[in-house]
């Protein structure tokens, strides 16, 4: 679960799939594009490898013992009360923002009930008046799951698991598979480090037949989910399966559905974003648009979000991508639009240093805060660099800040209770 290991699905595998050239619409890249992608790959992998090497040097034979402190923190009753109160308020706000205020209500149910309804992006509906209140719904997903894993009482464990699954399930009802995967990834982080914490120091768990069968079952489940989501799910949301887009993408897939949809969707959303980046570099006339890339969170935090939004409309990425309906692109596209070659040289270094700092801080000094910071930024931003630019969204940094706010809330509660107890305590004579 290190940044270096996560680069395999986040960057190397999608880039490798591009070499298959399954689309006739793909063209040879210009030397400039190749240099940009190679540089980004070297910067991301080298810095992440150094981070992992530094960790091994400073964390010999620890196993997962240090992570037990996170579990210990979660055992605090007062912390649990504050977290559950924040989560309850956030859940109500989430339902109001995403469903009650949504013109189509619950997208999945509405689309199934009325297949002829307009497929305007109401499944992307958000930013309601209570959006800020709904932030903890995602941020506490991993913490609730981790607390459920350590809970002994069956009823309480079940309620905590319901809370942990709330965000992924709600995102499925919204027809937003990517957001669902973000939540499940955070749960995976929690499960991985929880199991790691159970191992004895310096000992590695032997691979048994049972573990092999369990791993095979997980792979089969993921594969089955991919088949369903690429055919049935896509047809519900877009009124047609993914295989219907094969011709537009220049792909010839001689397979029946749902297998054809799986091939089209997998190659389209993993490999073609890099082709879109090449198309953008070839076609974009080029000019600086400060605030659409690395600097965007700063602009938004300062209340200047209207500036990058207007610049993004002027850039009109869809105009240059040429691979529609696959309209995704790696994080390099917005960096190139913001500051050209300077950004391409610096941004991969900055992002790699940031995520590896969060990782090292979490592994060397585990806490609820450091675990949340890393798991949220890795699941939302790092794992999806090949097809989006989540590092540029202020909301992901707000998600990560929920844990520090939780700790601060608990501290305020403890101070208030201590002050109240002191006031109630009878004074001693003399």
Q: Residue 248: what pLDDT?
A: 81
Q: Are 114 and 377 in contact (CB under 8 A)?
A: no
The confidence score (pLDDT) of residue 215 equals 65
Per-residue pLDDT of the chain (430 residues; tens, 9 = 90+): 889 988 888 899 888 888 888 888 888 889 989 999 999 999 999 999 988 888 877 766 665 677 777 788 777 777 788 788 888 888 888 888 888 877 777 888 887 777 777 766 665 665 566 777 788 888 888 888 888 888 888 888 888 888 888 888 888 888 777 788 888 888 888 888 888 777 654 455 555 677 677 767 766 676 666 666 666 766 776 667 777 777 788 888 777 777 788 888 888 888 888 988 988 888 887 777 887 788 888 887 787 778 878 888 778 777 777 777 778 889 898 898 888 888 889 999 999 999 999 998 888 888 888 888 888 888 888 888 888 888 887 777 888 777 777 777 666 666 665 555 555 555 544 4
Identify the CA nearest to 399 among candidates 112, 21, 94, 13: 94
> pLDDT at position 53, please?
83
Residue 189 is predicted with a pLDDT of: 85
Per-residue confidence (pLDDT) for residue 411, from 0 to 100: 67
Residue 192's pLDDT is 83
Supply the pLDDT for residue 202: 46
pLDDT of res. 34: 92
CA of residue 76 relative to chain centroid, distance: 28
Look-up: residue for tokens 């000019």?
287
**CA 184 from chain center: how many Å?**
9
Nearest-5° Cα angle at 25, 267 to 225 = 15
* Per-residue model confidence (pLDDT) at position 201: 47
Which tokens belong to 326? 């696959």
Phi, psi of 250 (to 5 degrees): 70, 25
Per DSSP, helices labelled H in 304-367 are 306-315, 317-321, 332-364
Return d(Cα 214, Cα 171) in angstroms, integer: 26
**262 within 8 A of 230, measured Cβ to Cβ:** yes
Residue 324: left if φ>0, alpha if ψ -120 to 50, beta else—which one?
A: beta
**CA torsion angle 113 119 124 127 (round to 10):** -90
Q: Indicate the pTM of the whole model.
A: 0.80
At 430 the pLDDT is 41
């Amino acid at each position: 679960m290190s940044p270096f290991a996560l680069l395999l699905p986040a960057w190397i595998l999608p880039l490798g799939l591009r070499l298959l050239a399954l689309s006739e619409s793909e063209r040879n890249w210009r030397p400039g594009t190749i240099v940009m992608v190679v540089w980004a790959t070297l910067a991301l992998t080298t810095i992440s490898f150094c981070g992992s090497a530094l960790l091994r040097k400073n964390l010999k034979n620890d196993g997962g013992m240090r992570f037990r402190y996170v579990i210990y923190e979660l055992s605090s009753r007062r912390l649990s009360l504050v977290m559950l109160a924040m989560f309850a308020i956030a859940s109500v706000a989430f339902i109001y923002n995403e469903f009650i205020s949504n013109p189509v209500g619950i997208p999945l149910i509405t689309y199934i009930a009325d297949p002829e309804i307009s497929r305007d992006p109401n499944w992307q509906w958000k930013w309601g008046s209570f959006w800020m209140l709904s932030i903890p719904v995602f941020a506490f997903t991993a913490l609730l799951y981790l607390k459920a894993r350590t809970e002994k009482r069956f009823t309480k464990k079940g309620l905590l698991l319901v809370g942990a699954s709330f965000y992924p399930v709600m995102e499925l009802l919204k027809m937003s598979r990517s957001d669902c995967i973000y939540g499940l990834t955070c749960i995976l982080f929690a499960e991985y480090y929880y199991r790691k914490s159970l191992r004895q120091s310096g000992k590695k768990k032997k691979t048994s037949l049972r573990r092999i069968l369990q791993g095979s079952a997980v792979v089969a489940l993921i594969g089955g989910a991919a088949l369903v989501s690429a055919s049935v799910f896509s047809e519900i949301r877009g009124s047609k399966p993914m295989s219907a887009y094969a011709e537009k993408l220049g792909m010839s897939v001689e397979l029946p559905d749902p297998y054809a949809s799986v091939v089209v969707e997998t190659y389209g959303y993993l490999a073609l974003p890099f082709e879109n980046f090449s198309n953008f570099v070839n076609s974009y006339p080029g000019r600086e648009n400060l605030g659409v890339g690395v600097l965007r969170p700063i602009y938004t935090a300062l209340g200047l979000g209207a500036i990058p939004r207007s610049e993004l409309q002027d850039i009109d990425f869809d105009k240059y991508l040429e691979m529609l309906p696959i309209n995704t692109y790696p994080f390099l596209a917005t960096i190139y639009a913001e500051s050209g070659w300077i950004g391409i040289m610096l941004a991969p270094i900055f992002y790699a240093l940031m995520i590896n700092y969060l990782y090292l801080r979490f592994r060397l000094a585990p806490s609820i805060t450091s675990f949340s910071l890393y798991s949220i930024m890795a699941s939302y931003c790092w794992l999806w660099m090949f097809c989006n630019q989540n590092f540029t969204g202020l909301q992901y940094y707000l998600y990560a800040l929920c844990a520090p706010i939780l700790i601060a809330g608990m501290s305020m509660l403890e101070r208030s209770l201590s002050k109240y107890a002191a006031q109630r305590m009878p004074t001693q004579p003399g």
